[in-house]
Structure 1
Amino acid sequence: MNMLKIRKIISTVVLGVVMFTFVGCSAKTNTAPKSDSKGVKEESTVKNKDNKIKYATKFNVEYLDNDVKVVTDGADKKLLLVPKGGKKPEGYDNIPVINTPINNVLLCSSMQTSLIRPLDVFNSVGAVTTYDVDKGHIDEINDRMKSGSITYVGKNTALDYELIKSKKPEVAFIISTDVAKLGAKFEELGIPYVVESSSLENHPLGRMEWIKFMSLFYNKEGEADKHLEKAEDTVKRVSEKVKGKDKPMVTAGVIHDGKFSVRVGGSYQSKMYDIAGGDYTFKDFEINKTGAASITNEEFYAKSTNADIYVFEGMGKTRPETISEFVKQAPIIENMKSIKSGELWSSQPWWSQSVDKLDEIIEDLAAIFYPEEFKGHEVRHYFKVANR
């Protein structure tokens, strides 16, 4: 073998070694765990697991190895959910840890009791706020409160923090509007708190998906998915049934402090009326916001006078028994079309504790709007106010 061939062979071997070293080092660099400034691992370490969040926009979840989850709650706060007995992964030093499944929780909203109903985890509830045992509408909570296994710790405006501390909850679920007044106090007590913001969603199925959010803390995503798939099927069926029909004009408003409170165009209630086939009179009012807004009696009358149906979705404990009783609260509505024709429908008292049943509520609304199309359907979450 001459010297020229020997040199070529040596060059080829050297080049191969260099390329192997470069590629090997590059591969290690790309797959090594990294953390950003907040102590959160980069996406390269997250499993490609479908979290199946289709409608909700106010929370998120990322699945890591060993059934660890990074949850972003309704206040954009990150939480690390680690199975009990499991090990906290490296690179997440700045994120609070909650061990799952939880089995001693404080619920700070009566609506949250319906978010956990499909999960069958009522035994995990150790304490509640705001829930009225005499007028609560979830038997599993009522029975446990009466037996003493669930403790009432006061209204959110006047909580008994000593009592709460003695109950040693693993987690306190609070709503977004209570973060300022409750968050700091829970931190002081060393109680992890989680912000539940289902009411800020602009789609009813988005609000229902907070059942999935709650399921993350119990490792019961399967149960949540099953319930949500059924709800989605109901909504699709109703949508198809009312598609192409002449829409009745629908108004809704609650009288409060001499004014009308109406659900704005960007609210999930507005979307519910739309899905059920109604032409909501306030659908174009503040479409970029959620929740409700106050308007004058005159403004409400001007928009609602020709509405075919009036839906009263009261959040309080009392409901109007007759139309005349309802009119006394705001006499200006007496000559509205819906009132004169007797088409005033009121929500049942348990309506606000039925977030897990919004699909049923949508079907009820469709049956109210199109009685001929839904013959045989029993309206459960509303009742027609007596015309006398």
Structure 2
Amino acid sequence: MNLSKMKKILTALILGMTMVAFVGCSTKTNTDPSPDSKEIKEESTLENKDSKIKYATKFNVEYLDNNVKLVIDGADRKLLLVPKGEKKPEGYDDIQVINTPIDNVLLCSSMQTSLIRPLNVFDTIGAVTTYDIDKGHIDEVNDRMKSGAITYVGRNTALDYELIKSKKPEVAFIIASDVAKLGAKFDELEIPYVVEASAAESHPLGRMEWIEFMSLFYNKEAEADKHLQKAEETINKVSEKVKGKNKPVATAGVIYDGKFSVRVGGSYQSKMYEIAGGDYTFKDFQSDKTGAASITNEEFYARSTKADIYVFEGMGKTRPKTISEFVSQAPIIENMKSIKNGELWSSQPWWSQSVDKLDEIIEDLAAIFYPEEFKGHEVRHYFKVENK
């Protein structure tokens, strides 16, 4: 081969390699995010990377390097959970840091004791509010209060802040409705607080997933996952068992200050009745909201008069002993179908402290709605009020 021909081949090879390199570089550049896309990503909400949250909508978590967790609580506040002994990552200067696992907490709602029950961390409770032994229904908490291991620091409307300060809690868990009156005071005392908003969820499994939220502070996500998986399986089984059945009509309401308080259509309780196979009379009432609302006695009667079953979900320790005693509080309900047929069911006193057992509560409701389908099932969280 002559020299001229060799030069032509070599030139072609070099040109070809240059083109390949150019194309490769162009491809790599096109896959990099543009400045605009980076900005959008930084402004977006947490991505739930590696999180198992499926139903809850009021909190979020992102797992960072070195087991650090970036959490959004029930008031949309960002918190950085950093393992004890580890340094805070750079770039999070304005975010409250809480070192995990926590081992000295203040719980500001008696319901929160049930959120930590599956985690078996009762020994971390240093103080509580709104919880007294006469109304408490979790033995582990009652026993620790009797022994003095847990200190009662008053009701949320009149807390003993000096006593709270002396207990030196690492973190205080408060409910969303108490942020305005408690948040600033805890800031003043330099006690980190976390907002728990499970009651605002619209799905019972969403409310139960706040067990997962609490587990983040204890590094006990595995325990929470196991409990929630079992609950989801139970609820799915119940849902399948009542599927296609003729739905009994169910009503629910408590009498307060001369009016009825009912769970609105967008509440997690409304969803519980639906999963259990009931046709809830207030399913279309404020279906875009969660929680409860007050209505007149006349409106309650009009909506509930043909209901097959009445479910009374009282929050206090007092429960009706007989139907006649219950009717005396609102005589207008005397001729309702459920009352005349003796189908008044009351929640047990521990019902409000059983958020970790909402799957069991749904199964109980299904057994009340369909006794023939659930023969042998022992209703645990409700009892039938005597027809006297």
- What's the offset of the Cα at 1:19? 9.1
- What's the offset of the Cα at 1:261? 0.3
Deviations 1:237-293 (A, max 9, x none): 000000000000000000000000000000000000000000000000000000000
1:333-344 correspondence runs (5 A): 333-344=333-344
* Structure 2 residues without counterparts, runs of 5 or longer: none
Helix, strand or coil at the partner of 2:288: coil
- What's the offset of the Cα at 1:151? 0.3
1:1-388 correspondence runs (5 A): 48-49=49-50, 51-388=51-388
Output the CA distance in 2 between the equivalents of 1:9 and 1:342: 93
Q: Which amino acid aligns with 1:87?
A: K
Q: How many residues align?
A: 383
Helix, strand or coil at the partner of 1:62: strand
* Structure 1 residues without counterparts, runs of 5 or longer: none
Output the CA distance in 2 between the equivalents of 1:293 and 1:319: 21
Output the CA distance in 2 between the equivalents of 1:367 and 1:6: 84
Q: What's the TM-score, normalizing by structure 2?
A: 0.91
Q: Is the 8 A contact 2:170 2:191 kept in 1?
A: yes
Output the CA distance in 2 between the equivalents of 1:64 and 1:153: 36
Output the CA distance in 1 between the equivalents of 2:329 and 2:74: 36
- What's the offset of the Cα at 1:17? 9.2
- What's the offset of the Cα at 1:134? 1.8
Q: Is the 8 A contact 1:40 1:91 kept in 2?
A: no
Helix, strand or coil at the partner of 1:199: helix
Q: Which amino acid aligns with 2:186?
A: F
Helix, strand or coil at the partner of 2:57: coil
Helix, strand or coil at the partner of 1:346: strand
- What's the offset of the Cα at 1:94? 1.1
Q: Which amino acid aligns with 1:170?
A: E
Helix, strand or coil at the partner of 1:155: coil
Distance 1:4 1:99, change over 3 A: same
Q: What's the TM-score, normalizing by structure 1?
A: 0.91
- What's the offset of the Cα at 1:71? 0.4
Distance 1:229 1:14, change over 3 A: closer
- What's the offset of the Cα at 1:21? 9.2
Q: Which amino acid aligns with 1:363?
A: E
Deviations 1:43-72 (A, max 9, x none): 8xx8942x0100000000000111000000
Q: Which runs of at least 4 in structure 1 moved beyond 3 Å after TM superposition?
A: 1-27, 39-43
Output the CA distance in 1 between the equivalents of 2:242 and 2:14: 78
Deviations 1:109-157 (A, max 9, x none): 0000000000000000000000011220000000000000100000000
Q: Is the 8 A contact 1:47 1:65 kept in 2?
A: no
Q: Is the 8 A contact 1:36 1:42 kept in 2?
A: no
Output the CA distance in 2 between the equivalents of 1:240 and 1:30: 45
Distance 1:250 1:166, change over 3 A: same
- What's the offset of the Cα at 1:306? 0.5
Output the CA distance in 2 between the equivalents of 1:330 and 1:248: 23
Output the CA distance in 2 between the equivalents of 1:260 and 1:125: 36
